[in-house]
Chain A
C-alpha cells in the first residue's frame, strides 16, 4: 500500500507495480480495516516515542559516517599544503586560492570538457539506440522475439573483463584507436538494462494509441518518433542520467584508450588518477595534495548536481534494476 503513495507518477516502475499494490490494498482493507485506520491516525499525529528518537539518533550517526568523507574533502580542498592531512573539519588556515591555482597546476578544464563531451555523446547515443530497440521488442510481433529478448537480458550477466581485449582489437582494426570513438562507440548498439527499462515503459502505453495512429496513416517509425518517444520522456531521462553518470565515472576505458595520449586528452577520472600520482607525497610526487582535493571536488560536483535534479530517477531506476531479478 505504501508503494502507491511513494511511487512517483510517470515512473518506470509504475506499470509493473500498480496491479500488485492495488491487490495488496484490497486484501489488507477487509480484515484489518479498523486497525489500519487507527494506525494511520497515529502516524499523522507526530508523537515521539522513545523508540522513534533512538531510531532517529542511529540514522543521524550513520548519516554522519556517510557524509564525513565528503565534508572532509570540501575542507581539505580549502587548506594550505601543510594542513591537508590534519583532519580538521574546519581549516585552521583558509586557502581559497587553491581554487584559482588548480587550473594552472592541472589541465582540469580540458579533462572536464573531454569528460563532458564524451558523457553527453555516450548518454545521447545509448538513450536513442536503447529506446529504438526497446520499441522493437515492445510493439512489434516477430518470430524469435522472446528468445532474442532473453539474449538481451543474458548479456547483462556477461562479465566485462571477457570482452575487454577483443573489443580493443576490434577498435584497433577499425583504425579508431587514439580517437574518442571507443569511449562511446558501443552505445550505438543499445545497452541491455536500458532496453529492458524502456521496454517496460513502452508496454505500459495503451496500444490503442498506436492503432489509431496507424489508421491515420502513420509509419512504424512515425509511431516511435511521434508517439512513443514524446510519451516516454521521464524514462528517457532516467536512461540519460544513468549513462551520463556511468560515463563520467568510467576509469577503466579511459585507462585503456586514452592513457597513451597527451595529458590534455585525459578524461576527469583519468586526470585525477594522474594527479594522485603527480602530487602524492608518498610516491615521490610533489606533495601538493590540496590540488588533488580541489580537482576531486570539482569533478564530483557535477554528479551531485545531477543527483539533485534527478534524485527520484536514480533511486527509482536502481529499485527497478532489483525488481527485474
Chain B
C-alpha cells in the first residue's frame, strides 16, 4: 500500500530528475538534504519506530506506572485479551459500525458530489454550506446531536413523527446506538464529497459526448465512464474512511462514555473506547498495547485486502499497461 502510494506520488517529482541510477551525489548537497529532513527523521525514529517498538515490548510486559518498570510477562496480555469478552464485543461493534458507515459515507458523498457537479453556477454556494459541518468541532456536533437524537423530545424524532414514523430511542436502544453515530458522521461527510467533486471535475467531457453518440443513457454513462474514471478517488476514500471508522472515538466517547458512572449501552463500546479506558482510566498499559497491536494487524490486513481488490478495479490515468 504505502510503497504503491510512494511510487505514484514520487513519480511526479522524479520526472525532473530522470537521470537516476548513474546520478552522482554532491556530498555537500546530500548532507544539507539530510539536515533539512532531520526533524522528520528524529520524529520518525523516536515517535514512530521507537514508539512502536516500545509498544511491542510493553504489550509483553506488565507496566508499573509508579516505578516506570516494564516487567516481562510473556504472552499473558494477549491471552487475557482473547479471554476478555469485552475485547471481542468491542471489535464486533467496531467492525459492524465500519461496515455500516463506510458504504453509506461513500454513497452519500458521491451522490452529493454528482449533484454539485451538475448544478454549474451556484455550486460554490452549496459546497460552502455542505462544508460547514466539517468545520464544526466534534464536541459541538456531539453536544447538539445529544439533544437532536433524544428519543422523546429530539427534533429528529419530531420530524419522523411528522411523516407518521415512530422514531426510535436513538441513544438508549442498543440497536440504534450505532446508526445514531453513523448519522452524525454523515452530517460531516463533506470532506469526502470534496474529494469526489475534484475527481469528477477531472473526467474529460468528450468521453461523455462520445458515449452519448453511441446512445448511452445516464445510468450507462455513470457506470461505464464516471465510476471507472473516479475509481482512484473511490479507492482512496474507502481506505481512509475504513481506517477512521475502525478507530471511531470522539462521538462514541462524548455521547456514551463521558462519565464512568453512566450505564452506557454495551453496543456503543467501540474498540477505540475500550483501548482508551484500559490505557488511561485503568492504566493497564500492557493490555492496552496488546490491544493496539491487534488493531494494527487488523487494519493492515483490511487495507491490504482493499488494495488487492482495488488493484483489480482501479483505473489510473497514465497507467498504459
Instruction: Provide the main secondary structure of the chain A interface.
Output: helix
Contact among A56, A70, A189, A319 for B132, CB-based, below 8 A: A70
Which of A149, A169, A297, A321 has the most chain B CB within a 10 Å cutoff? A169
Expressed in whole angstroms, the Cα–Cα distance for A237 and B95 within the complex equals: 37
Expressed in whole angstroms, the Cα–Cα distance for A85 and B239 within the complex equals: 38
In the complex, chain A residues whose CB is within 8 Å of the CB of B259: 277, 283
- Given that A66-B130, A255-B280, A306-B135 are known contacts, is A73 also in contact with B140, CB under 8 Å in the complex? yes
Expressed in whole angstroms, the Cα–Cα distance for A300 and B140 within the complex equals: 7
Expressed in whole angstroms, the Cα–Cα distance for A293 and B141 within the complex equals: 11
User: A238 at the A/B interface (Cβ < 8 Å)?
Assistant: no
**Interface contact A167-B51, CB-CB below 8 Å:** yes
- How distant is A261 from chain B, measured CB to nearest CB, in Å? 14
Contact among B68, B292, B299 for A164, CB-based, below 8 A: B292
Expressed in whole angstroms, the Cα–Cα distance for A207 and B15 within the complex equals: 13
**Interface contact A166-B32, CB-CB below 8 Å:** no
**Interface contact B13-A165, CB-CB below 8 Å:** no
- Given that A153-B2, A165-B279, A283-B259 are known contacts, is A28 also in contact with B237, CB under 8 Å in the complex? no
**Interface contact B317-A66, CB-CB below 8 Å:** no
User: A82 at the A/B interface (Cβ < 8 Å)?
Assistant: no
User: B202 at the A/B interface (Cβ < 8 Å)?
Assistant: yes
**Interface contact A325-B295, CB-CB below 8 Å:** no
**Interface contact A145-B195, CB-CB below 8 Å:** no
Contact among A56, A145, A196 for B9, CB-based, below 8 A: A196
In the complex, chain B residues whose CB is within 8 Å of the CB of A70: 132-133, 136, 144
Expressed in whole angstroms, the Cα–Cα distance for A300 and B137 within the complex equals: 6
**Interface contact A145-B202, CB-CB below 8 Å:** no
**Interface contact A140-B36, CB-CB below 8 Å:** yes
**Interface contact B44-A318, CB-CB below 8 Å:** no
Sample of 17 further A-B pairs with CB below 8 A, known A56-B122, A69-B187, A133-B39 = A27-B204, A28-B204, A46-B121, A137-B36, A150-B6, A152-B44, A166-B50, A166-B54, A167-B47, A167-B51, A188-B43, A203-B13, A276-B142, A276-B254, A283-B259, A307-B135, A325-B236
What string of 1s and 0s marks CB contacts (under 8 Å) between A11-28 and chain B?
A: 001001100110010011
**Interface contact A16-B12, CB-CB below 8 Å:** yes
In the complex, chain A residues whose CB is within 8 Å of the CB of B2: 150-151, 153-154, 157
**Interface contact A62-B112, CB-CB below 8 Å:** yes
Q: Which residues of B contact A (CB under 8 A)?
A: 1-3, 5-7, 9-10, 12-14, 16-17, 23, 25-26, 29-37, 39-44, 46-48, 50-52, 54-55, 58, 63, 68, 112, 115-116, 118-122, 126-148, 150, 153-155, 158, 187, 190-191, 194-199, 201-202, 204-206, 209, 232-233, 235-237, 239-240, 243, 246-247, 249-250, 253-254, 258-259, 261-262, 272, 275-276, 279-280, 285, 288-289, 292-293, 295-296, 299, 303, 317
In the complex, chain A residues whose CB is within 8 Å of the CB of B16: 203, 207
Minimum CB distance partner of B51 in chain A: A166
Expressed in whole angstroms, the Cα–Cα distance for A6 and B199 within the complex equals: 13
- How distant is B307 from chain A, measured CB to nearest CB, in Å? 10
Contact among B37, B142, B195 for A321, CB-based, below 8 A: B195
User: A100 at the A/B interface (Cβ < 8 Å)?
Assistant: no
Expressed in whole angstroms, the Cα–Cα distance for A289 and B58 within the complex equals: 42
**Interface contact B135-A173, CB-CB below 8 Å:** no
In the complex, chain B residues whose CB is within 8 Å of the CB of A166: 50-52, 54-55, 58, 289
Contact among A67, A157, A319 for B1, CB-based, below 8 A: A157
Contact among A155, A273, A296, A318 for B194, CB-based, below 8 A: A318
In the complex, chain A residues whose CB is within 8 Å of the CB of B205: 1-2, 24, 28, 32, 36
A and B contact pairs by CB, cutoff 8 A, 12 listed: A1-B205, A20-B202, A87-B155, A87-B158, A132-B36, A137-B37, A165-B55, A169-B63, A189-B47, A249-B139, A255-B253, A268-B137
In the complex, chain A residues whose CB is within 8 Å of the CB of B68: 169, 172-173
- How distant is B98 from chain A, measured CB to nearest CB, in Å? 13
- How distant is A255 from chain B, measured CB to nearest CB, in Å? 7
Contact among A142, A159, A189, A280 for B43, CB-based, below 8 A: A189
- Given that A56-B119, A170-B46, A322-B237 are known contacts, is A273 also in contact with B254, CB under 8 Å in the complex? yes
- How distant is B264 from chain A, measured CB to nearest CB, in Å? 11
**Interface contact B40-A195, CB-CB below 8 Å:** yes
User: A226 at the A/B interface (Cβ < 8 Å)?
Assistant: no
**Interface contact A169-B58, CB-CB below 8 Å:** yes
- How distant is B225 from chain A, measured CB to nearest CB, in Å? 14
- Given that A67-B132, A252-B250 are known contacts, is A165 also in contact with B197, CB under 8 Å in the complex? no
**Interface contact A59-B126, CB-CB below 8 Å:** yes
**Interface contact B139-A154, CB-CB below 8 Å:** no
In the complex, chain B residues whose CB is within 8 Å of the CB of A164: 275-276, 279, 288, 292
Contact among A150, A151, A269, A289 for B44, CB-based, below 8 A: A151
**Interface contact B30-A143, CB-CB below 8 Å:** yes
User: A37 at the A/B interface (Cβ < 8 Å)?
Assistant: no
